[in-house]
Amino acid sequence: MESIISFVLQRKIVLPILIVCTTILIVRVGKVIVRKLFTRGKDNFEAKKRTTIVELISKILSFFVYAIAIIMILDIYGVDTNGILASLGIAGVVLGLALQDTVQDLMSGIYIILDNYFVIGDTVRIDNFTGEVVELSLKSTKIRGANGEIYILANRNVDAVVNLSQSRAGISIKVPTAYEEKTSKVEEALQEVVQEALKIPNVYKDSAYLGIDSFDASAINYAIIIYCKSSDQWEVKRKVLKLIKEMYEERNIKIPYDQIEVHNGKKSV
């Protein structure tokens, strides 16, 4: 029994276990500390940006902490770590030359964050693909489209980005209305539609009824403009169109539509 205890308490057994446990603890606690330092007291947009930075910093710190732990364990077992470090330095230079694209991806990932291109949760348009950023790593960016498809893009290829979450959209809606409807009645209804639209999340207060836009063959087109977050414009437009339809039904305002008269070819007697 004493020999077993003596074996277990040997330096080459106890120290590696302590190093592994301590490393795991440091990594976990470090992630929590970094997250609190970077996101506490920030607004939603800044918190999203800083959360992305925290994830990247956490990965880098974890890599270095685990690397140090491995070197310490090898040193305990008598491995010449100085030779390993020198070899790693040479290997790093060789790999850097061989993996230029990967290095460029890593640097581009850092620039994307620091220059505020986008963060996780933003809606962006890249290469005519529009979707939500669901993952941003040092090497690649993943964007989820409206149908659930995932667009994976190497960070080095991210050069032109339209960030729809950092801007606002103006939704211009033309409402066709029958000529026989009184203008005052229609204007009152559409102004109320705008007021109801302001209750929709992320719709801005400068949305307004604009007036008569044009005269068509069978309808007068009235216009309203709704300002909202760019990422929400399609959902907001659908909701506003529903409000218009319900308001017109409630106030018996006619929306004209094309009608076709069909003859069966028989002459009347």
Q: So what's the pLDDT on residue 193?
A: 95
C-alpha 151/C-alpha 53 separation (Å) is 21
Q: So what's the pLDDT on residue 49?
A: 60
Cβ(151)–Cβ(136) under 8 Å?
no
Is there a common fold for 115-163 and 168-250?
no
CA angle, residues 138, 143, 148, in degrees to nearest 5:
145
CATH code of the domain made up of 8-98: 1.10.287
Q: So what's the pLDDT on residue 232?
A: 82
Q: So what's the pLDDT on residue 95?
A: 60
Count CA within 13 A, CB hemisphere, residue 136.
30
Q: So what's the pLDDT on residue 184?
A: 94
Q: What is the mean pLDDT of each run of 10 residues along the chain (269 residues)?
A: 53 78 88 77 61 74 84 77 67 62 75 74 85 83 89 86 78 93 94 94 90 91 90 88 95 82 58
Cβ(178)–Cβ(254) under 8 Å?
yes
Secondary-structure class of domain 168-250 per CATH: alpha beta
Q: So what's the pLDDT on residue 20?
A: 87
3-class DSSP state of 251: coil
C-alpha 80/C-alpha 123 separation (Å) is 50
Q: So what's the pLDDT on residue 17?
A: 83
Domain ranges of the chain: 8-98, 115-163, 168-250
C-alpha 224/C-alpha 208 separation (Å) is 6
Burial class of residue 139 (count of CB atoms within 10 Å of its CB; 0-12, 13-18, 19+): middle
Q: So what's the pLDDT on residue 83?
A: 66
- CATH architecture assigned to 115-163: Roll (2.30)
Q: So what's the pLDDT on residue 242?
A: 95
Nearest one of 172, 171, 170 to 223, comparing CA atoms: 172
3-class DSSP state of 136: strand
C-alpha 115/C-alpha 159 separation (Å) is 12
Q: So what's the pLDDT on residue 182?
A: 94
Structure tokens that stand for 226 in this block: 């709704």
User: Side chain identity at 78, as an amino acid letter?
Assistant: G
Q: So what's the pLDDT on residue 186?
A: 95
